[in-house]
Amino acid sequence: MLNHKRRSKTKVFSDPLLAMDRNNEKLHIVIFPWLAFGHIIPNLELAKLIAEKGHKVSFVSTTRNIERLPNSSSSLITYVKLPLPKVDNLPKNAEATTDVPYDVVQYLKKAYDALQHPLSSFLETSNADWILYDFTAYWVPAIAARFGIKTVFYSIFTPPFMGFMGPASYMIHNDPIRTKPENFTVPPPWVPFSSTVAFRYFEIMRIVDAVSDNDSGTSDTYRLGASIENCDLVAIRGCTELEPEWFQVLKDIYRKPVLAVGQLPSTGFNGGDENENDTWRWIKEWLDKQTHGRVVYVAFGSEAKPSQEEVNEIALGLEKSELPFFWVLRARRGASDTEVLELPEGFEERTKGRGVVWTSWAPQLKILGHGSVGGFLTHSGWTSVVEAVQNETPLVLLTFLADQGINARVLEEKKMGYSVPRDNLNGFFTADSVARSVRLVVVEDEGRVYRETIKEVKDLFVDDQRQQKYIHELLRHLLSHRKNGERVFPG
Whole-model pTM? 0.88
Q: Are 195 and 172 in contact (CB under 8 A)?
A: no
User: What are the DSSP calls for 335-362, one per residue?
Assistant: TT------PPTTHHHHTBTTEEEE-S--
Assigned fold of 4-267+463-480: Rossmann fold (3.40.50)
Which of the two residues, 54 and 20, has the higher pLDDT score?
Answer: 54
Which of the two residues, 304 and 109, has the higher pLDDT score?
Answer: 109
Which amino acid type is present at position 251? K
Task: Choose among 326, 319, 325: nearest CA to 347.
Answer: 319
417-419 and 395-397 beta bridge pairing: parallel
Predicted local confidence at residue 486, as pLDDT: 39
Whole-angstrom distance, CA of residue 290 vs CA of residue 292: 6
Which amino acid type is present at position 4? H
Assigned fold of 276-456: Rossmann fold (3.40.50)
Within this chain, domains 4-267+463-480 and 276-456 share the same CATH topology? yes
Question: Average of pLDDT values for 46-65?
Answer: 96
82-105: buried (b, 16+ CB within 10 Å) or exposed (e) per residue? bebbebeebeeebbbbbbbbbebb
Whole-angstrom distance, CA of residue 53 vs CA of residue 209: 40
Predicted local confidence at residue 2, as pLDDT: 36
Q: Are 225 and 170 in contact (CB under 8 A)?
A: yes
Q: Are 397 and 412 in contact (CB under 8 A)?
A: yes
Predicted local confidence at residue 482, as pLDDT: 78
Predicted local confidence at residue 226, as pLDDT: 97
Q: How is the chain split into domains, by residue range?
A: 4-267+463-480, 276-456
Whole-angstrom distance, CA of residue 336 vs CA of residue 341: 14
Q: Are 342 and 314 in contact (CB under 8 A)?
A: no
Report the chain's C-alpha Rg in angstroms.
Answer: 23
Task: Choose among 18, 28, 67: nearest CA to 50.
Answer: 28
Across all residues in the chain, what is the average pLDDT?
89
Strand, coil or helix: 248: helix
